[in-house]
Amino acid sequence: MYFWLVLAIVVGLVGTAAVAVLLTTAFRGRAVVALAPANSSTAVPSPTLDPAATAANSPDASRKQNPAGALRSPDDVVKASPASSAPVSSPARPSGPSARAPTTGIPGLPVEPPLPAPRSPENPSIPAPQQESAELLRQPLDPPPPVDEPPAWSTCVDPAPASKPKLLPHPLELEQGPERLLFSRPDVAIAVAQCWSSPPRKDFTRPQPPEEAKRIIRWLDVYDLRKCLHKKKLPLAPDTELLAISPDGTKSVLCAETPREKIQIFDLGTGETTSEWCPYADDPSNRKVTAADIVDSEHVLTLGANRKLLIWELPEGHSVYVAATESFQLSPNRNYLSVTTPDGLQILEARTGEPCGQLLCRGKPTAVAFSAAGDRLAALSVRESGATLQCWSLHDGSVLADFPLGRTPKALSCRNIHWCGPRQLLVDHRWLVDLDRNLIVWKYDVANGMGVLSTPDDRHWYTVRPSFPFNAGFTLCAMELPDPVAAARLAEINPQPQVLLGPGSRLSLNVQVSNVPDRPNFAEDLRRNLSQRLAANKIVVAEGQAVVLEVRALQLATGETHRYGRGVRGIFGRDDANTTVVAGQKVECRAAVISHGQVFWEQTESLKMDLRIVQLEAGETIDQHLSKHMWRAVGYYFEQRLALPDRVIAGGDAEGFGQSVFVIGGTEPAMPR
């Protein structure tokens, strides 16, 4: 035993000595110093100022190269799932020329059926000779529509049947606070809530076992939204998640939380599972299901983590078409759906996959919403320069609204958006946007509750409970926005937007940066770069303007110290007589659009001097080397990473012109902070 221990120690020492010799040999003739802390960053090379290359990499340039937003990468053309991934309760799939087995697909286009195998005319059961098969395969097929050109727009207005009488005439007391709440069509007036709780403890005299403490009970509560009453309670498996319910309120889609690969069709009438299958069984690397929805009683949509959107026919259980996307949204009556593309949205027919039109966005869409009337579509896209809200008419695809959200609040995540009336949208359940004023006009909060993600009409739906007593239950409420107090206040002040910066406008440049150590004309180069990038947005740079783009870089001390040692000892963080202590430095970068002393757009970045391993040139000190690389990073940020705004709107406040809190049955003024 001792022999092997001594042998292991000797081998370890020899290996360490060999590594030290190799490192010393590799860095011979250079001054090598290393920072002891583990945090490190790679040195940023000095960028070459090339405005043409910068413009070519801009989002506008990418839209010009791909105006249709078509997905043309190899991952975007995917194959439908094989029959082995069909629901287990499905009958055998038909064979022969009449089978609808999809082979390949183009995003937004229906999948072409496979060619029938050529047969000999003498004996149809025997394949024809190879040359006849080759001749048949060489016959030209009807080419699909070109993906580089936007398809002609076809009307895709899809209103949901209205409910008479009105849904939820008064607040509805819920049996349990929901994890998720989904709605059927308004004329069906059904709501399904997924709830959970811990099992009751039977013995309080002894500690609860860990496995018992982790147990949970899940179930579905079904509500009638016209009569405002609870209809039934359906038990679920503990690890089951509700993904969607059918328009007629009779079925739901469930998925196991772990491993989240199989979906189930759950009958809300009988409480039984009618079918289940793994939609992405043919993809062993990624079978995870991220979203699902029900188009009608015969079609189910599934979206996987592999970006494959499939629609399945029931009860046969085979996919009808495929598309490559990261998210989708169904129209109110579920006849159309929107899918995200790299530069916009594509509208498809939900059952056939036929494209209806392409909508270009000013960035990657993060939230999409159809209006309750089914005649308009709104999308929120976020770029580094800020968030932009766009709205289109689904009659002809024309743009109804297109404006930035001003000074975007830092708390704005832009992950959810829904309509609250014909001209208002609520973003993240908090910020009310007026399409007539192009502004955030009001801010809402909900105390002890949450907003509902999907709404059956153009009101805002939310769950809330009173602060006292502590065990009070949740109540489901719906409210038209803006509320009477907010509407009166907005009518009184009548806020109007002012386009501060946009195509055709003028501004002045105020560049306050030091020269990069190895670029003596950096300030002038940066001014030229910014002027050309603004000119690409049709903004003219001129002196003496009221609107100023201020670019500033200020070097400050961080208050930290960094210890650098030479050679191998420095690499391993060991101090010696050659150890150098350096004071930490950082550069605060800021770009802002200012008018009359007020900031209307701003971006900041902090760049620190924290290189781990550096190689000094002849006659160069550690401070000089670190400062050089830090200022190179500053140049790279301003010339390459900084996203300049193409429009800035003034006249509003980032938090709106007032604030209210949702309570049971209405709103209350927010308490001043």
Q: What is the pLDDT of residues 289-311, one digit of tens each?
A: 999 999 998 999 999 999 999 99
Are 387 and 648 spatial neighbours (Cβ–Cβ below 8 Å)? Answer: no
Reduce the secondary structure of 333-348 to three states and give it as a string: CCCEEEEEECCEEEEE
Mean pLDDT value of segment 183-193: 95
Q: Which of 72-81, 483-492, 573-582 holds the top average pLDDT?
A: 483-492
Which element (helix H / strand E) includes 5? Answer: helix 2-26
Q: What is the pLDDT of residues 524-564, one digit of tens each?
A: 999 999 999 999 989 999 999 999 999 999 999 988 888 88
Mean pLDDT value of segment 134-147: 38
| 657/636 Cα distance (integer angstroms) | 38
Are 476 and 520 spatial neighbours (Cβ–Cβ below 8 Å)? Answer: no
Cα 110 from chain centre: 26
pLDDT at 596 > cutoff 50: yes
Residue 40: per-residue pLDDT: 36
Residue 371: per-residue pLDDT: 94
pLDDT at 98 > cutoff 70: no
| 349/351 Cα distance (integer angstroms) | 6
pLDDT at 216 > cutoff 60: yes
Residue 204: per-residue pLDDT: 64
Contacts of 603 (CB under 8 A, 6+ apart): 384, 385, 590, 591, 592, 642, 643
Residue 476: per-residue pLDDT: 96
Which element (helix H / strand E) includes 63? Answer: helix 59-65
Instruction: Please give the C-alpha separations between residue 88 and each of 262, 278, 656, in angstroms, as whole numbers.
Output: 11, 9, 53
Confidence class of residue 189 from pLDDT cuts 50, 70 and 90? very high
pLDDT at 443 > cutoff 70: yes
| 290/263 Cα distance (integer angstroms) | 11
Residue 568: per-residue pLDDT: 61
Q: How big is the CA angle at 543 (ends 538 and 549), to the nearest 5 degrees?
A: 60
Residue 212: per-residue pLDDT: 65
What mean pLDDT is reported for the chain? 78
Mean pLDDT value of segment 88-116: 38
Residue 118: per-residue pLDDT: 38
Instruction: Please give the C-alpha separations between residue 490 and each of 192, 437, 485, 527, in angstroms, as whole numbers.
Output: 36, 11, 9, 41
pLDDT at 92 > cutoff 50: no
Point out the least confidently predicted range of 113-122, 177-186, 270-279, 568-577.
Answer: 113-122
- 430 exposed, middle or buried (CB, 10 Å; 0-12, 13-18, 19+)? buried
Q: In this structure, what token pair is assigned to residue 403?
A: 């404006």
Coil vs helix vs strand at 388: strand
pTM of the predicted model over 0.75: no
Residue 159: per-residue pLDDT: 92
pLDDT at 105 > cutoff 90: no
Point out the least confidently predicted range of 100-104, 253-257, 391-395, 435-439.
Answer: 100-104
- 126 exposed, middle or buried (CB, 10 Å; 0-12, 13-18, 19+)? exposed
| φ and ψ of 633, to 5 deg | -65, -35
| 320/299 Cα distance (integer angstroms) | 9
Confidence class of residue 29 from pLDDT cuts 50, 70 and 90? very low
Residue that wins the pLDDT comparison between 599 and 174: 174
Confidence class of residue 426 from pLDDT cuts 50, 70 and 90? very high
Mean pLDDT value of segment 353-358: 91
Residue that wins the pLDDT comparison between 617 and 65: 617
Reduce the secondary structure of 413-480 to three states and give it as a string: CCCCEEECCCCEEEECCCEEEECCCCEEEEEEEECCEEECCCCCCCCEEEEECCCCCCCCCCEEEEEC
Residue 321: per-residue pLDDT: 73
pLDDT at 331 > cutoff 70: yes
Residue 569: per-residue pLDDT: 59
pLDDT at 325 > cutoff 80: yes
Are 178 and 193 spatial neighbours (Cβ–Cβ below 8 Å)? Answer: yes
Residue 57: per-residue pLDDT: 44
pLDDT at 120 > cutoff 90: no
Domain locations along the chain: 31-57+501-650, 72-90+100-112+147-202+211-337, 361-496+658-673
Residue 8: per-residue pLDDT: 80
Q: What is the pLDDT of residues 234-291, one digit of tens each?
A: 999 988 999 999 999 999 999 988 889 999 999 999 999 999 999 998 888 889 999 9
pLDDT at 415 > cutoff 80: yes
Task: Fill in the amino acid letter for 239.
Answer: D
Confidence class of residue 629 from pLDDT cuts 50, 70 and 90? confident
Point out the least confidently predicted range of 110-119, 221-230, 370-379, 658-667.
Answer: 110-119
Residue 47: per-residue pLDDT: 41
Mean pLDDT value of segment 197-208: 72
